[in-house]
Amino acid sequence: MQIFEEIGPIRAYLDDQGRKGKSIGLVPTMGALHQGHLSLIGASKSENDLTVGTIYVNPTQFNNPTDLAKYPRSLETDIEQLTNAGCDVLFKPSNEVMYGEKNSLKFDFGQLDKVLEGKFRPGHFSGVALVVSKLFNIIQPQRAYFGQKDYQQFLVISRLVEELKFPLQLKSIPISREASGLALSSRNQRLSEEGKAKALLLVQCLRSTRDELLKGRNISDVRREVQARFDETPGVKLEYLELADSSTLEFLERGEKNSAVILIAGFVDDVRLIDNMLL
């Protein structure tokens, strides 16, 4: 695997590959890699000649400085995992390379970034859109791969690509889960074994919510029951449980199969986790 930290050298390398007719797939990550990230690498490898993974913990998408400071970092094992997964190129820029002195652009996606994660993490999606735009310009991929785990992020990036006319195809990859059902997340590394057991409450509540909604019940009633389950479990806190249109994220009371998504966020000890499930 070729590793680059600066824009000039990786551009020279990718221009050369482009002249040879190689297609490029991009997999942006913040590192602390797990099987979910590697499934994106695998999807890119199956559709492109060259897969470029990136590792960059983007400060502008963190609204909480403690979350940024405590974000897990494991570069050595990340490089090992990417190499074993057959990733061709790793781009791991510094803050200086990505931002320099200038850091003033802001994005506004209307309603799409005011609800759910956007509401609880103000500025988060502006930071995501900024760093993803920079990566699209630096790597110039034909395809870019994102996980369904960050459901709202995929819709925001889809809007970004549409409005700014980025000449690339976006791919959404299903959520990788542990056998227990827990959605894989870099933040799980911050959980104790006991914490991981408590974190199962998120996926359990998604499943029971889906079952209840499919029986024709409304989300307000189901949310009350989910809230009660969180209230009786020490060390967990529910931030939101919503049912939304799967393409606009407009909130719904009742959903139709395949056109609605259930989204949940909560804290386990002091670790914030998200998950979602299509109805």
What gap in Å lies between CA 51 and CA 43, rounded to an integer?
10
> In the bound complex, what is the minimum distance in angstroms from residue 128's beta carbon to ligand AMP?
9
Identity of the residue, 73 or 229, whose beta carbon is nearer to ligand AMP in the bound complex: 73
What gap in Å lies between CA 103 and CA 121, rounded to an integer?
19
User: What are the DSSP E strand ranges found in 39-154?
Assistant: 50-55, 89-91, 143-147
> In the bound complex, what is the minimum distance in angstroms from residue 110's beta carbon to ligand AMP?
22
Q: Look-up: residue for tokens 């690498």? A: 41
Just list the catalytic residues: 37
> In the bound complex, what is the minimum distance in angstroms from residue 272's beta carbon to ligand AMP?
12
> Is-contact 39 176, C-beta < 8 A?
yes
What gap in Å lies between CA 275 and CA 72, rounded to an integer?
19
Identity of the residue, 36 or 252, whose beta carbon is nearer to ligand AMP in the bound complex: 36
Contact residues: ligand AMP, CB under 6 A: 29-30, 36-37, 39-40, 146-147, 149-150, 173, 175-176, 183-186
> In the bound complex, what is the minimum distance in angstroms from residue 216's beta carbon to ligand AMP?
30
Longest distance between any two alpha carbons in the chain, whole Å? 61
Residue nearest ligand AMP (C-beta atom)? 147
What gap in Å lies between CA 59 and CA 63, rounded to an integer?
8
Sign of torsion over alpha carbons 251, 113, 52, 166: positive
Identity of the residue, 37 or 223, whose beta carbon is nearer to ligand AMP in the bound complex: 37
> In the bound complex, what is the minimum distance in angstroms from residue 149's beta carbon to ligand AMP?
4
The three-state secondary structure class of 173 is strand
Identity of the residue, 28 or 255, whose beta carbon is nearer to ligand AMP in the bound complex: 28
**Angle ∠(196,200,206) on CA atoms, nearest 5:** 150
Identity of the residue, 141 or 147, whose beta carbon is nearer to ligand AMP in the bound complex: 147
CA proximity to 243, closest of 269, 273, 217, 270: 217
What gap in Å lies between CA 76 and CA 84, rounded to an integer?
13
